Structure 1
Amino acid sequence: MALEICVDDIAGLDAAIAGGADRVELCAALALGGLTPSPSLIAAAASAPIPVHLLARPREGGFHYTARELAMIAGDITAAAEAGLAGVVIGATYTDHRLDTETLASLVAHARSAGTARRAPLSLTLHRAIDLCADMPAALDAAIALGFDRVLTSGGAPKAIDGLDMLSRLQRRADGRIIILAGSGIDADNVAAFVDVGIVEIHASCGTIASDLDEVADAEALARERRFGFTTAGRRRTDIDRVRALKAVLTDVLHQAA
């Protein structure tokens, strides 16, 4: 079993590592579903003791990209390879939400080339663009044909627990040809259900709402920051205890199966 934690700041990276994550998905703006992280965060993550995969997503919204946006994604892939990160997370669709296999083939080829240049292949994950596809099994077949190593999916539902039947179906269809990485709303309380249907990689944020006064002197200082729009209520952070709890359940499940 592998536990991947998605993070969008340096504190989250540190919490994921300390909590026992096996891999990190490095992002910015998780509140928007994740965007491409900053160069400084990429540089900081390059020294992590566990594999780090970079999310290459240049903006919020859907996954139909212009030529200039695709050039940005290609540049992000190159940056990940040059920084020494272990992989990238990408996706692209047509306006009707079918996978854009032509675009993805080009991005996969670029990633393979970038990995060859640094003499270490980049692991390739197709992100949750697949959850928008009307025919997810067919999209999975396309991902396999394109050469992806794994697919991050919630089974076509906003929360993975509600897409469990589809995740089970995709896991059977994958049949060892690709890894199904289940994610969205997974925690220590429900992760066993995913293991029960054969899922071997779990993706989670393990987020919690930060205290409004964690980083400011007092309520007046917080109110001033909000008036200027520098902070908002309900900011999430990676919770090391939630990471540890999720990892502990996965470890226990493995021991029971042994």
Structure 2
Amino acid sequence: MNNKIILFLIIILTSLFIFFICFFMFTNFTVKKVEIDRDFFLDDKKFYKYLNIKENSLIWDFDKKKIEEKLAKQSYLSFYKVIKKYPNTIRILLRLKKPIAKIVVQKGDVYFIDDKCSIFRKHKINYSIPLICYINEEKVTLNYKANDYIKKVIDSLVLLKNKNKNVYDGISQIDIIEHSNKNLEYIVNYRTINAKIYLKNYINVDLLERGLICALYIEENNLDVENVVYTGNGFIF
């Protein structure tokens, strides 16, 4: 009889111990807070739904890998990271790609391109940035690896924006034309100025600045000049 009582008490105590352990775990290790550290506007409810973040789930059941796989599909993100902060917090870091220009892609669609030549579709900006038109636009897609011609334009725009933002802001469009003899033309259009600047095989910050000066000179002196050409030795108009 005593053995049965002892066994019964052991079962009761074990059950209570397991219950309190489970209660403690559920109370303290259930995800209670999701922190999203971001540098852009985001609809949190839609974001949670997309990531399938469920309330009242235990923190170790939270699958970081699956969340990061979904974040990796968002081409507008330059950086993302998912962090578990024990006992009950999930922290998600998100950083938005910063477009340096727009670019015409397949079928005439216009996407964005950042300083690392990464092309992406979505971005909400309230200011004008230069548009790049590459003659072989049918080759340009979201996964397109930018060639040297486009890279030179992007590198020049990045340096120009850091050095002289007024000139950067003044550029409306840059056309990249590749001729059959492998010669290149970079045609630069400035906002509010009619003259176009033709850069033969060259593009850099200095030429973009000097090109604007030439265009302004033509505009201010009412010269009947539509095109200014740089051949390597200087500007001709």
TM normalised by structure 2 equals 0.23
Higher RCO by CA contacts (8 Å cutoff, separation 6 or greater) = 1
Which structure's CA Rg is the greater one?
Answer: 2
Higher share of residues assigned helix: 1
Higher share of residues assigned strand: 2
